[in-house]
Amino acid sequence: MTVAENLFENLRLELRRGCLTLAVLAQLRQEYYGYTLRKALAERGLDIDESTLYPLLRRLETQGLLASEWREEEKRNKRFYRLSSDGELMFTKLLEEWRTINASVDATLNSRV
Amino acid sequence: MELLDRYLQAVKQHLPWQRQDDIVAELRANLEAQLEEKEGELGRPLTKGESEEWLKQLGSPLHMAARYKPHQYLIGPNIFPIYVAVLKIAATWCTIIYFIVNLALIFTGTPNLTAVAEALIRVPWILMTTAAWVTLIFAAIDYGVSHDYLRIPALTASSSCWSPSDLPPIEAELVKGKKARSFTQTVVEVVFGFFLLAWVLLIPSNPWLLWGPAVLVWKQSPYQMGSVWMQFYWWCVALSSLQLGWRCVELLRGTWEKKRPVLQVVIKAAGMIPVILVLAVHDHATVLLKNPTLDQVRYGTTLDVINRSIYWGFLAILLITVVQLAVDVARMGLNAWRRRMVSMPERQGLGTRD
């Protein structure tokens, strides 16, 4: 990987990091378990590695933003996640912040054209 | 699938023991669901090669397990700047204290080069030990703070514990683009200052340190140094110690970047005292004959030349220092006047704005 490619990769990951959390919170307004959540996000164009998504779910749960429960489905025990009440509040705030940033970036881009 | 079991077992080994079963159970459920779907699409089980390829895409077990661990650093970004600052101060002071203790030990015992060399060789170990202890302490603090065992508001809220008014003023030299004295430069000055002081203190008992092989010639010569040279010597020691002490204080206070023109002028002025002492010797007789009655006729003329050379040399030094001192004082006055002129319109502006 060249220096420029490496730099791009680092910046891309940095840019994605915050967006992934927001996307996961948005998707978990509906209940999912790890793999189906990953598929649902992928179908919407957001491909997340297993080693990123599954630990992220744990972290968000530890932070009180997600609630989870073990349940049997298709003869297999799975851990289902959904947004907690704290998570809903946080998601609303983050969404607002994201929309503001998005609008600012768009306005900046448009003003330069 | 045996490979998946082996993969999960390897991941488990690297997970925190309190949560490893729970995490592995969840990971197994997710990965088995993924595997089933893959095999359903293909209509057959994955081959060994395909399984290996799939597991490789998940990342190594160590990498996968690491993502579940919350604490991935010894010292976090919140306290890292404080850690670096403390590390610098601790390393500096340990080195300084070490040198002082060793100098004291060398001078209270028999001063020799082996003891000095041994003390120098031990410096890197002292620094590494200091760094290791500071790192260990800060790692423990970080662990305590991040796990809520410790509450140190001064550390966690350090960004709000300062006032812009406490910042040092912009110095004229910095504005002109001249580089401020760096921490490394100051540390080097302190360390070399100690070496210089040690060297100077060793001279009376080891004159060869100053004269080299010429000391043998000097000992056999009919000349000897006058008593003024001991006064001169102790003044030099006192001034060097003063400068070194001040550098140490600057390091401790973290003010090594600050220029201190007044102090420099004072030290330069005090530096003239030993020179004046030498110049004030009656008849310029700073070097004497060991046996004046015997050697006066033979060596009297040479002695006179030596003493006059010393006198004129020291007079030149004194004149140069006086000129430098005058320039420094004039520059200080000019800078003070410029600062006053610059601040006057600002003050007037602030006054009229209200």
ipTM (interface predicted TM) = 0.83
Beta-carbon neighbour count of residue B210 at 10 Å?
13
Instruction: Map out the domains of chain B as residue ranges.
Output: 2-66, 75-159, 184-193+220-354
Lowest mean pLDDT among A94-108, B19-33, B257-271: B257-271
Separation CA B341–CA B352 (nearest Å): 17
Given this model, what pLDDT does residue B349 score? 47
Q: Cβ contacts (< 8 Å) between A34 and chain B: which residues?
A: 26-27, 29-30
Given this model, what pLDDT does residue B287 score? 87
DSSP H or E run through B201 = helix B183-202
Nearest Cα residue in chain A from B65: A51
Given this model, what pLDDT does residue B108 score? 65
For chain A, say whether B100 makes contact (Cβ under 8 Å).
no
For chain B, say whether A34 makes contact (Cβ under 8 Å).
yes
Instruction: Map out the domains of chain A as residue ranges.
Output: 3-112
Given this model, what pLDDT does residue B171 score? 55
Separation CA B96–CA B193 (nearest Å): 10
Nearest Cα residue in chain A from B69: A55
The string of pLDDT tens digits covering residues B59-77 is 899 989 988 887 678 888 8
pLDDT at B346 over 90: no
Residue pair B30/A54 in contact (Cβ under 8 Å)? The answer is yes
Mean pLDDT across A72-85 = 90
Q: Closest partner residue to A51 among B34, B58, B70, by Cβ?
A: B58
Given this model, what pLDDT does residue B260 score? 73
Question: Which residues, at least 6 apart from B296, have a Cβ–Cβ distance to it below 8 Å?
Answer: B289
Separation CA B213–CA B207 (nearest Å): 10
Answer whether 0.95 is exceeded by the pTM. no
Q: Cβ contacts (< 8 Å) between A49 and chain B: which residues?
A: 58-59
Given this model, what pLDDT does residue A105 score? 93
Q: Cβ contacts (< 8 Å) between A79 and chain B: which residues?
A: 25-26, 29
Separation CA B26–CA A37 (nearest Å): 13
Determine how β-strand B223-225 pairs with β-strand B287-289: antiparallel
pLDDT at B288 over 50: yes
pLDDT at B354 over 50: no
If contacts are CB pairs under 8 Å, which of residues 287-306 in chain B contact chain A?
Answer: none
Record: fold of A3-112: Arc Repressor Mutant, subunit A (1.10.10)
